[in-house]
């Protein structure tokens, strides 16, 4: 298992190119199951989660080939079942269910189960499939959905914490080949949903409204192959922006899209970070003192839960008190106790973390527990005095392409230790 050894204190300076979005790539790769024709997905990040989605698609019968940032997928024949050993490794693999149901009118997928950030239920996905006319049963750890024909319907996808990103993706994909018109109300508005709809429309689907809470899908008889370029990863961009602020650096995030990062850039500006945007990317610069900010995570266009941990790391360096409230995943505070090992003063009260920032952090051995928690440890380690060793780096590698290489190019003293 690899570790990252970070000697903190070096300001990040220069340019970094933001990779394609993991959370757009996963459902878009799954969407290629909806056609027998070849699809090419460009700008796909080289990440363990993406390679894993490739393995799932191969296992289901598709030909999958990765080549220099492109993934070629051809799903001539597809089988409609995915077992526990495939699905348990990545919760995101549930997004194969919509395309399997859409194409084969039946799908059997192992229930993904919970994970360290929360319960991860799929009740809204299943409600959507049922509304389309599928019969859904659960037994032996598997969920089965089948229906001789799927018929478009009105579907409300709002849940306790707002809508569901992969649930919206799953229902759109199942409805793309259904008879008639489906109208999803309270759909997720995330840019990754918009990117999926663009890919499906390029395949011949008829989807309007993606990016708003009402999405209309007019079913078509068949979809064809398409070429599509993935949007840049807004969470990776936010993480580098925060790391730049944490180290008093100056970095241009090439290809980052400011229009996908409104809430994050707004909070960074409020915290005293200088942000300039232009068509080519976003320039982040910090010289002065940081100011504490309060944050509540919300569905898009609110502050993303996937940036909560990294922002908390920044607030530990900021004199004063910030209150960070997590409204999407109930136990997404795994980073708190590890940040405390670096000297952070954080108290959890219900869904909120009270960060008493401003004390300098000092390096220590810490352990990554999930993807974004590990990113927070990287941010803190870059700013801390001395050496931080982050073990279980495979969590970081799930979502950050070549993180140590990119950080080194920006001047960070980061080394990957590979244990044989
Ligand atoms: N929810 C339900 N019922 C459902 C589905 C979700 O109650 O059927 C609840 C969840 O428990 C949660 C909320 O709705 O409280 C939002 O969950 P959502 O379904 O939107 O999450 P997801 O689609 O499973 C994606 C990303 C996550 C990201 C969330 C929220 C992918 C592969 N994953 O998950 O990304 O945190 O949306 O934005 O797209 C990450 O990249 O680190 C990551 C965890």
Is there an atom of ligand 1 within 6 Å of 289 CB?
no
Q: Which residue has the tokens 């878009």?
A: 28
Is there an atom of ligand 1 within 6 Å of 128 CB?
no
Is there an atom of ligand 1 within 6 Å of 164 CB?
yes
Is there an atom of ligand 1 within 6 Å of 411 CB?
no
Alpha helices in 271-389 (DSSP H): 308-316, 335-341, 371-383
Q: Is a pLDDT exceeding 90 seen at residue 355?
A: yes
CATH of 22-229, picked from 3.40.50.300, 3.40.50.150, 3.65.10.10, 3.40.190.10, is 3.65.10.10
The reported pLDDT for the residue numbered 156 is 98
- What is the distance in A from the centroid of ligand 1 to the CA of 140? 24
Q: Is a pLDDT exceeding 80 seen at residue 116?
A: no
* Closest C-alpha residue for ligand 1 atom 15: 328
Which is catalytic among the residues 13, 95, 115, 274? 115
Which pLDDT tens digit goes with each residue over 258-307? 999 999 999 999 999 999 998 889 999 998 899 999 999 999 999 999 99
The reported pLDDT for the residue numbered 330 is 83
User: What is the C-alpha to C-alpha distance for residues 195 and 193, in angstroms, rounded to an integer?
Assistant: 5
Q: Is a pLDDT exceeding 80 seen at residue 112?
A: no
Other C-beta atoms within 10 Å of 349: how many?
9
The reported pLDDT for the residue numbered 115 is 67
Confidence bin at 315 (pLDDT 50/70/90): very high
- Identical fold for domains 2-18+232-418 and 22-229, yes or no, is yes
- What is the distance in A from the centroid of ligand 1 to the CA of 15? 31
For the chain, what is the mean pLDDT?
95
Which pLDDT tens digit goes with each residue over 10-47? 999 999 999 999 999 999 999 999 999 999 999 999 99
Known catalytic residue at 115: yes
Residues 378-391 have a mean pLDDT of 98
Which pLDDT tens digit goes with each residue over 125-157? 999 999 999 999 999 888 999 998 899 999 999
Q: Could you tell me the pTM of the whole model?
A: 0.98
Domain edges within the chain:
2-18+232-418, 22-229
Which pLDDT tens digit goes with each residue over 204-231? 999 999 999 999 999 999 999 999 999 9
Q: What share of the chain is helix, strand, coil (3-state, %, to 5)?
A: 35, 30, 35
* Closest C-alpha residue for ligand 1 atom 28: 306
- Architecture of the domain defined by 2-18+232-418: Alpha-beta prism (3.65)
């Amino acid at each position: 298992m690899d570790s990252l050894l970070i000697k903190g204190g070096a300001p990040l300076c220069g340019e970094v190119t933001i990779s394609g979005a993991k959370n757009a790539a996963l459902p878009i790769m799954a969407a290629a199951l909806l056609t027998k024709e070849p699809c090419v997905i460009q700008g796909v990040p080289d990440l363990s989660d993406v390679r894993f989605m490739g393995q799932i698609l191969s296992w289901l019968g598709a030909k999958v080939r990765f080549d220099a940032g492109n993934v070629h997928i051809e799903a001539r024949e597809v089988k409609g079942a995915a077992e526990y050993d495939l699905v348990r490794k990545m919760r995101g693999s549930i997004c194969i269910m919509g395309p399997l149901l859409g194409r084969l009118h039946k799908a059997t997928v192992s229930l993904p189960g919970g994970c360290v950030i929360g319960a991860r239920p799929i009740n809204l996905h299943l409600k959507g499939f049922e509304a389309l006319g599928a019969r859904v049963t659960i037994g032996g750890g598997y969920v089965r959905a089948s229906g001789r024909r799927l018929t478009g319907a009105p579907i409300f996808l709002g849940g306790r914490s707002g809508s569901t990103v992969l649930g919206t993706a799953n229902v759109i994909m199942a409805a793309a080949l259904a008879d008639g018109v489906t109208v999803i109300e309270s759909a997720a508005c995330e840019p990754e949903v918009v990117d999926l709809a663009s890919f499906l429309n390029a395949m011949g689907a008829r989807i309007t409204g993606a990016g708003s809470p009402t999405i209309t899908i007019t079913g078509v008889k068949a979809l064809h192959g398409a070429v599509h370029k993935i949007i840049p990863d807004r969470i990776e961009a936010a993480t580098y922006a925060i790391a730049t602020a944490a180290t008093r650096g100056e970095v241009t995030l090439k290809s980052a899209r400011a229009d996908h990062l409104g809430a994050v850039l707004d909070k960074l500006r409020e915290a005293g970070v200088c942000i300039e945007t232009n068509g080519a990317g976003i320039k982040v610069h910090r010289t002065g003192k940081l100011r504490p900010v309060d944050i509540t995570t919300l569905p898009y266009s609110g502050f993303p839960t996937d940036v909560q941990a990294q922002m908390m790391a920044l607030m530990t360096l900021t004199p004063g008190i910030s209150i960070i409230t997590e409204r999407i995943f109930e136990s997404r505070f795994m980073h708190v106790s590890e940040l405390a090992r670096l000297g952070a003063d954080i108290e959890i009260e219900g869904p909120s973390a009270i960060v008493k920032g401003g004390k300098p952090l000092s390096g220590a051995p810490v352990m990554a527990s999930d993807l974004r928690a590990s990113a927070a440890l990287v941010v803190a380690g870059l700013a801390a005095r001395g050496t931080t060793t982050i073990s279980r780096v495979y969590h970081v590698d799930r979502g950050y392409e070549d993180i140590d290489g990119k950080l080194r190019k920006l001047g960070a003293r980061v080394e990957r230790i590979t244990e044989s």
